[in-house]
Amino acid sequence: MTDQTAIVPALGQALAARGYDQLTPVQSAMLDPEIAAADLLVSAQTGSGKTVAFGIAMAPSLLMGAEKLQRPGSPLALVVAPTRELAVQVHRELNWLYAEAGARVVSCVGGMDPREERSDLSKGAHIVVGTPGRLVDHLNRGSLVLDDIRVVAMDEADEMLDLGFREELETLLSAAPEDRRTLLFSATVSKPIARLAATFQRDAIRINTISDSDQHADIDYRAHAIAPSDVENAIINVLRFHEAKNALVFCKTRANVNHLLARFHNRGLSVVALSGELSQSERTHALQALRDGRANVCVATDVAARGLDLPDLDLVIHADLPTNREALLHRSGRTGRAGRKGVSVLIVPFKARRRIERLLQDARVDASWTDAPGADDIRKRDDERLLNHPSLTETASASDHEMARMLIDIHGAEQIAAAFVAHHRARRSAPEELMAVPEYRPTDKRDRPPRGEGPRRERTERREPRAERSDFQDSVWVNLSVGRKSGADPRWLLPMLCKAGGLHRTDVGAIRIEDAHTRVELKAESAQGFLERVGPDGRLEKSISAWREGDKPAGWTEGSAPARRERRDDSDRPAKKRSGPPSGPRSDKRPGGKFVGKPRTDGKPRAEGKPPRKPRPVPPSQLEDRAPERPKSKKPGKPKARRFDPTAEKPPKRRKPKQGD
């Protein structure tokens, strides 16, 4: 490690007052004299002190050998962060780091009052920290001048490029002098992002302080395979099992954040939310509640929690699974910071296990696959916490001892202990029961034995026929009047049998579809009830009949249409009375040429020369009741407005044309 005496004296005093006895690897790398005037592309582990690192890297360009900075004027350094919370955090860190150097640090963050920020900028500043959008807004309004900028530092540079801040960064960098230094810091720098960052820098020095062996040493990765419908229940059980001082739950969307926030509130958890739809004051209050201990669970999106440094964060839960290794590392990096231990838990539906295994392998992370904590595990853990409760070992006051003796004399020691246990358990929400998960069988080719080493089966060997189920030994076969030609498919046949036939899916065995009919195997105890339900005519659905194999319904042959019920004889039923006025005889055609009734179906042509039958005339009695039809009159159109000219002569009156004109 480089000697710590190489730090600028003013910054060294601030670090000593803060309790920094030893610098982290990324902070020590900034003391190399060869990089004092160069552009840097730095990747370091999360929680390794990147903010202090680029604060140390900026010092030679800002102080220029002096002990303290001069009177503030135009900004000398610009620090850009992707999110509001990270910008506020960087502003707080640089304030104490440059306090002995007399630096004035101003923040420009979206969601805050821009008038106050313009007032602070007008008073002068040495360092300006802000988000890309707000900085560009001040630049366009003329309140932010970058003519004297010496250093531009971008924290979480890869995230800013991924979030679409490329245009804002280009605007800020083009407004700064060309001879500036550009420092890019991030937890992960992929090759595409490094190529994009090369356009913003000149001969940048690449510094990588991440070691594959120790970058996850302080984080315990655990993966729980669960049923897809148990995601929320598993999250609640994980929170109950660990009972961390602070926990962070990651979601993909704001809607998921709001849903989990309401669910946790209903379970009595002290929870806050962090998403882009909240105002800056609401987000600040949420973070302050976590720091003060008024809340111990935070539900957040990836963008809102980017770069957060929460004290005593012991647990990270991935409610929505990360899609790439960068998201996994950034999420998990919120815990296990500055030498503290942390736990990162992935809630994995069992169908997505193979994908998450590939993601963990790509990120070079070893995770332990275990079952999610169940109700019995949580109760056992609660009992262990009760046996080791701090109040049982702390020294009680004299008044407490006196009250304890009075309680023992009145209620007895066993009753008091039982009341203490009941009170302890009542303060905690009940755990959730989780569904059983099927046994995992890896299907990846890498898990298979190499060719030629595994057990081989001879070509002449044949598979044994599948053993018949014991509950279908005395089964009954039923035929359905629908087959392959009619589009029969088990996906709709089985629900139809259960609904119309009163069966359960376990009562149905094999379904064998043939060309014109389908054979279905039923349990012996269920077949009789099924046949009684369909009745003697075998009617199952509108056009589907069912009968016991060997008892074909009358009139049904192989390949014929499904059997239909005989039409009911309604000859003895009275005819329905027709409502409405009597109508005359129909005519085949109206004057317009459209058919009124049905055309002739007997195949006989109409007699030649025979005119069509005329409609019967309406009786005079009915004509008197009808109101005379009024001729439709055309409404006159609105006359067009004419421009009045007083000097013009009046046009001659138009006369009506007479006959013969």
Query: What is the enclosing helix (H) or strand (E) of 276?
Result: none
Residue 86 pLDDT: 86
Per-residue pLDDT at 131 = 92
| Cβ–Cβ < 8 Å for 128, 137 | no
What integer is the mean pLDDT of 312-340?
Answer: 85
pLDDT tens per residue across span 460-494: 445 455 555 666 777 888 898 889 888 888 888 88
Torsion angle (degrees, nearest 10) of CA 466, 470, 475, 477: -20
Q: Is 343 helix (H, G, I), strand (E, B) or coil?
A: strand
Predicted local distance difference test score (pLDDT) of residue 565: 43
Cβ atoms 365, 215 nearer than 8 A: no
Please tell me the distance from the alpha carbon of residue 125 to that of residue 381, in angstroms, as a whole number. Answer: 54
Contact 222, 290 (CB under 8 A): no
Q: What is the pLDDT of residues 333-366, one digit of tens each?
A: 888 776 678 899 999 998 899 999 999 998 888 8
Q: State yes or no: pLDDT of 180 exceeds 50.
A: yes
Rounded CA-CA distance 610/615 in Å is: 15
Tell me which of 283 and 453 has the higher pLDDT.
283
144 is written with which tokens?
A: 């932010």
pLDDT tens sequence across 222-253: 999 998 889 999 999 999 999 888 899 999 98
Domains of the chain: 4-208 (3.40.50.300), 219-380 (3.40.50.300), 471-548 (3.30.70.330)
The residue behind tokens 């008073």 is: 123
If DSSP states are collapsed to H, E and C, what string results for 513-577? ECCCCEEEEECHHHHHHHHHHHCCCCECCCCCEEEECCCCCCCCCCCCCCCCCCCCCCCCCCCCC
pLDDT at 136 exceeding the cut of 90 = yes
Tell me the per-residue pLDDT of 523-577, one tens digit each, with 9 for 90 and over.
888 888 888 888 877 888 878 888 888 776 655 555 554 444 444 555 555 555 5
| Distance in angstroms (rounded) separating the CA atoms of residues 21 and 83 | 30
pLDDT of residue 8: 86
Mean pLDDT of 146-156: 91
For residue 203, give the DSSP letter. Answer: S
Place of tokens 């299907």: 443
pLDDT the model gives residue 460: 44
pLDDT exceeds cutoff 90 at 139: yes
